[in-house]
Structure 1
Amino acid sequence: MRVELSANVFTDGNFELLTRLIGYFIEARHDWIADDNETLVVMDGYFRRHAPVRAQVWSSLVRKEPTRQVWSAGRPEPPTVRVTHESLPEHVEDLSATARVVLENKGGDGDFLLAVAHVFRAERIIEAKERRWLKFVQGGGSGEVPKVVRDECADFRRVKRVVFLLDSDRWTPGEPSKHEKAVAELRAEGVHGHILRFREIENYVPNCILAAVAVPRQQRREFDERLKSLRGLVPEQRAHFDMKKGFHDSRTQAARVPDEQRQLYGSLRQTTVVALRKGFGDGLTALLLREAKAGRLKEEDFGDLGPGVCDELREILALIERIV
């Protein structure tokens, strides 16, 4: 996070807390920001008195031009945490804690977020996850996520370093998500989060990744026909298709479009509905992460899913960058 220290934190009784905080700046866990010349003068004098050996190094931390452009292009710069003498103990505790992203499925959804971070070059998020400065928290079912978010926020006193991500579970484009009321309440409490525009995380998996799904030889022809049919959907249809289960009626075991989506998919031929009967199963986000790490995925692959997709993914990354 971006941290600004006021001049009144540099007092004799705060040396241990300041040393701890400076350690976070040295390891680039957080960024120290200072634009006030008066604060810099006070800081220099303080370091010369209390840490003469380290004074020059520590003072240079706040003066040097940032060498890592961690706030990636296209995403807004996160807010600055302003620390005063009164808030220093609580702020240090909050900044030492692990940032959290609450997800419905921390395994699959977490793989998706890391894949997107690799493709959109969100190095700060990748590093934070690797160094355990950031963790994904299992929220359970979507109805449990708000409770888990509040439980995680209870660990913080000044800065709630918790965000959340939810599937929209929308049947059709523009339909209000059933989660909007709960999300509005969390936002009113100062907790940031995002509801996906598309139905679920899996709807953001590009077609090129689906083509890499391992399929037994005897099922290859059927799978290729399924993928061809998926590619034939318009973006609004692709965005709300049940990617894991397809048009499968568990009661009759037949291919069937849900009643809630009959208008959306009314233009489809029955042969297309049958071809999409099975969907693409589980494990898509794990495959997405593997291909992203290998450099076989580009921003344009997400852009092919429809207008505004890349902007939404950047918005999600910016949401996480606020807390790391």
Structure 2
Amino acid sequence: MRVILKAEVFASQHIKHLDITALIKFGLDERHLIQVEPLDADEVRDWLNKQSDDVREECELAFDSGYRLDSDEYGQFSPFTIQVACVDKAQWYQEEPLLPLDIALKFLSQPFIIFVENRRNDSAFLRATATGWRKQKLEKFLNEDWLKFEAGGGMGEVLKYVEEISEPPEKYLRHFVLFDSDALEPDKPSKQSEDVVTACGKSVYFHRLKRRAIENYLPLSTLSAWMGINVHKKVNGILRRKLVDAFAKLSSEQRHHFNMKKGFKGDLKKTKADDEKETEQEHRLVSHFYQNVSTEIRIVLAQGFGTDIAELFKEEHFLIKEKWLYDDKSLILELEPMLKRLLSLV
């Protein structure tokens, strides 16, 4: 987050100088981007001159870091900005909230919350798919407890949580919601995920995955490596090798919306009528989006990769190489900007 510290604060008789140094320390720690406006103001120079050499040097480092990281890292996503000035009360409802120093300190000290459907799997997904400086910053924020994951128990709980944090601003501005689209086909998210988007509105920051679920972001290279660990191991009676080979024959869009955990049969249950035979229902299911998939491939992929396939995102179980992520161009095109935006809000 970018913090514009107005020069008038340095000359105020009603502000504790320790509060000013506490705010500046956020910049020294690279937790927030601290920028003084204007930096060359007499009030700022006079205040700095009253500090010890060590304190003055650290303050100048924090200011330099605030401008340097702002231009170097976030690119198209300008960090969310607050202004700190000599005002009597917080003015939240404007493009750049204007806050008194004490309220700003309280606000900036809160950990930023990423709310997900499943804390262990979804947090592992975000960490495993982060690349470059984004991964380094994400890990630093998590290790310092500046960024935390909280979770519900499915889309219904996500909706309730969004409704709970929709007011006041000091709450929803410290949250980001990440959730599945549950889309069985491209651009056709589930009604539940649409309800969450509606609830988020223009207040709550969120990202809805374009693909069906997190496991649909496992690159083919990753699945191939997983297969190679034990080529003779089976999932629901099907060799891993056969599963991965069959999955690779689907189009990229089909892979992005395939029921990874439960396969084609998992989706049959979503629409099967009591008086329909499974073979008739299967024909109806694959008649348009999967109509070019052979019966042989459908049989192999009938039960999917198992309910624990998302465990591959957990580094203690499997290490996903960054090269494998970059092999999947649409993954990078979606997730890198999402993570840049998220980090710019923290």
Q: TM-score, normalised by structure 2?
A: 0.79
Amino acid aligned to 1:126? E
Q: Using the alignment, how far apart are the partners of 1:55 and 1:219 within structure 2? A: 64
Report Cα offsets for 1:111-161 as digits up to 9, x if no partner.
010011146743222210121110111122112213223545668628711
Q: Which residue identity lines up with residue 125 of structure 1 in the other structure?
A: L
- The Cα offsets for residues 37-75 of structure 1, whole Å up to 9 and x where unpaired, read as 45x432221233466762343234214686668964765
Tell me by how many angstroms 1:317 deviates. 0.4
**Contact 1:102 / 1:165 at 8 angstroms: preserved in 2?**
yes
Cα displacement string for residues 215-244 of structure 1 (whole angstroms, at most 9, x for unaligned residues) = 583538722111111000011211110011
Separation (CA, whole Å) in 2 of partners of 1:151 and 1:162: 12
Alignment-mate amino acid for residue 207 of structure 2: H
Per-residue CA distance 1:237-269 (angstroms, 9 max, x = gap): 1111001111225879x8974855531011111
Following TM superposition, by how much is the alpha carbon of 1:7 offset from its aligned partner in structure 2, in angstroms?
1.9
Looking at secondary structure, tell me which structure has more helix per residue. Answer: 2
Paired position in structure 2 for 1:21:
23
1:285 Cα deviation from its structure 2 partner: 3.7
Residue 270 (structure 1) aligns with: 295
Higher relative contact order (CA 8 A, sep 6+): 1
Counterpart selection for 1:99 from 103, 112, 119: 112
**Counterparts of 1:112-131 in structure 2 under 5 Å?**
112-118=125-131, 121-131=134-144
Cα distance in 2, alignment partners of residues 78 and 24 from structure 1: 15
1:313: which partner in 2? 335
Summarize the Cα distance change of 1:295–1:224 in structure 2 as closer, same or farther, 3 Å threshold.
closer
Partner of 2:35: 33
Q: State the distance in 1 between where 2:292 and 2:31 align.
A: 52
Match of residue 186 from structure 1 = 200
CA contact (8 A) 2:262 2:305 kept: yes
1:1-324 to 2 correspondences below 5 Å: 1-10=1-10, 11-14=12-15, 15-34=17-36, 36-37=38-39, 40-49=41-50, 54-63=55-64, 72=73, 76-86=77-87, 87=99, 88-118=101-131, 121-151=134-164, 157=170, 160-178=173-191, 179-188=193-202, 190-213=203-226, 215=230, 217=232, 219=234, 222-248=239-265, 257=282, 259=284, 261-290=286-315, 295=321, 297-303=323-329, 308-324=330-346
Cα distance change of structure 1 residues 158 and 240 upon mapping to structure 2, 3 Å threshold: closer
RMSD after superposition? 3.2
Change beyond 3 A, Cα 1:258–1:288: farther
Determine the C-alpha separation between the residues in 1 that align with 2:168 and 2:135. Answer: 26
Separation in 1 of the partners of 2:45 and 2:172? 27
- The alignment partner of 1:226 has SS state of helix
Stretch of structure 1 that moved more, 289-298 or 126-135: 289-298
> Which amino acid in 1 is paired with 2:77?
P
Shift of 1:4: 1.1
Q: Which runs of 5+ in 1 are unaligned?
A: none
CA contact (8 A) 1:202 1:285 kept: yes
Q: What count of residue pairs does the alignment treat as equivalent?
A: 318
Q: Distance in 2 between matches of 1:218 and 1:294?
A: 20
- Distance in 1 between the 2:171 and 2:260 partners? 40
| Alpha-carbon distance in structure 1 between the residues aligned to 2:39 and 2:104 | 23
Amino acid at match of 1:81: I
Given that residues 27 and 66 in structure 2 are in contact (C-alpha distance below 8 angstroms), is that contact kept between their aligned partners in structure 1? no
